[in-house]
Structure 1
Amino acid sequence: MSDNVSREEGVKHIAEIIKDIRFALLTTVNENGHLHARPMTTQQTEFDGDVWFIGSKDSGSVADIKQAPQVNVSYADTGKNTYLSVTGKAVLVDDRAKLEELWSDGYKAYFEGGIDDPSIQLIKIESQGAEYWESGRTRNLLQMAAAAVTGKTSNDHGTNETVKL
């Protein structure tokens, strides 16, 4: 972790980064040791060090998690030039109260039985660390314009922090 960023500050900043990002990529390791990334819907809950997803018990991601729980969750906000990578351990959870907290009617498109569908699987990512990059669109455009005119590149590519969670 950076000496400048405490865990509490890191969690708060990560929460700010992901709050408006609708989708994340959940990367798992399959039985052959190959990485596989799948889009998942970001839940509308405050990030506290854990990331939650609603998946299907018969999905490839759940099968992968059962045999290799180490995962990565990646977020990108290209409009803000902000990127986040979270590493952690995935845990398969059966918790009706948590499901009710996370559920939205949009999931009816994926689960025929609605919130009572027996194939629903909660996936909790217990974050172990994160790294984020922020540069801002305006800064990048100015740097590109300056480089085109002067031929000189910039070493100021924005903020990059690593947070141990």
Structure 2
Amino acid sequence: MSTEKFWKELEGVHSAMLSIGSARHVPMSPYARQDDRAIWFMTAQGTGLVEAVTNGETDASLIVTGESNIHARIEGSAALVQDRAKLEELWNPVASSWFDGIDDPDIRLIKLTPAMAEVWLTTGAMGFAFELVKSKLTGKEPDMGEHFSLTL
């Protein structure tokens, strides 16, 4: 598995569970950017994630599962970033539902720089069901896709 394929698969992910330091995992919209070697998040001042980073906690964990063909546990470091150009690049209708416009003073960007990822690539729900049925008919173990780890 190449790192390029990893990043390409992440581009299709719209929801994942992010934790930073002692802040519990919460659902977030990730914005994977291979050129930055980062996964970006928009959140608000006062959230547990922002408080964790503000208090010097940087160890981050991202759990990706369910909506696409990639399932992953991604570990890395998180930082708060003030970058208007990056905010403008990431801004979208989903973000606008959570904030009072792009100039909302509570918006915070979190940059997750991945260090490692444990990844499972599957063929999706239909492929999973097909493999289970096939295994029952043939007596062979189902092909559940690729599983590997990456150092990023």
TM bucket, shorter chain = 0.7 to 0.9
Indicate the residue corresponding to 2:59 in structure 1: 70
Cα contact 1:75–1:84 (8 A) shared by 2: yes
Moved runs in structure 1, 4+ residues, more than 4 A? none
- Matching residue's letter, 2:13: I
Mapped pair 1:129 → 2:116: yes
Structure 2 CA distance, aligned partners of 1:163 and 1:54?
A: 25
Instruction: Give the structure-2-normalised TM-score.
Output: 0.82
- Matching residue's letter, 2:15: F
Q: Tell me: CA distance 1:139–1:108, structure 2 relative to 1, closer, same or farther (3 Å).
A: closer
Indicate the residue corresponding to 2:17 in structure 1: 25
Cα contact 2:17–2:26 (8 A) shared by 1: yes
Mapped pair 1:53 → 2:45: no
- In terms of Rg, which structure is larger? 1
- Identical-residue share of aligned pairs (%): 26
Q: Which runs of 5+ in 1 are unaligned?
A: none
- Matching residue's letter, 1:74: I
Instruction: Give the structure-1-normalised TM-score.
Output: 0.77
Once the two structures are TM-superposed, the CA of residue 52 in structure 1 deviates from its matched residue by 0.6
Match runs of 1:1-165 below 5 Å: 5=1, 9-10=2-3, 12-30=4-22, 36-43=24-31, 46-48=33-35, 49-67=37-55, 68-78=57-67, 80=69, 82-112=70-100, 114-137=101-124, 140-149=128-137, 152=139, 154=141, 156-165=143-152
Q: Which runs of 5+ in 2 are unaligned?
A: none
Structure 2 CA distance, aligned partners of 1:164 and 1:57?
A: 31
